[in-house]
Amino acid sequence: MKIGIIVPYYTPDQNTKQLFERCKASIDDRFEKIFVDSMKIGLGVSAARNHGLDIAARMDLDYITFLDADDTLEPNAYDQMLAAISEAPDAPLIQMNHSRMQPNGTAYVKF
């Protein structure tokens, strides 16, 4: 199973650099990372996501997920996603829980 992770960003900043490092450290060869610099292609973040989808469509991927440069994942987030896919392999969509975080790192809204 191969999963594409599309990461749109606007100019590399500290969030993007940290995300690059987290991706290198926590994502194995089951994942294909697709980083799209929206500034280089002269488009906004939504268009950069769509550009990432165009790239992903030419790859041999089973699933696609999105990650923004300012997102933070729990260490086992992708393991949980893979477990959900294993439990429901015919599901057209897997949705993960998320929280909005305050600048100090505590959650103020959980979904």
The pLDDT assigned to 71 comes to 77
The pLDDT assigned to 81 comes to 86
The pLDDT assigned to 31 comes to 87
Residue type for position 62: D
Mean pLDDT, consecutive 10-residue segments, the chain of 111 residues? 86 70 71 86 85 95 86 79 90 82 71 52
What whole-number distance in Å separates Cα of residue 31 and Cα of residue 108? 30
What whole-number distance in Å separates Cα of residue 57 and Cα of residue 52? 9
The pLDDT assigned to 97 comes to 79
The pLDDT assigned to 61 comes to 93
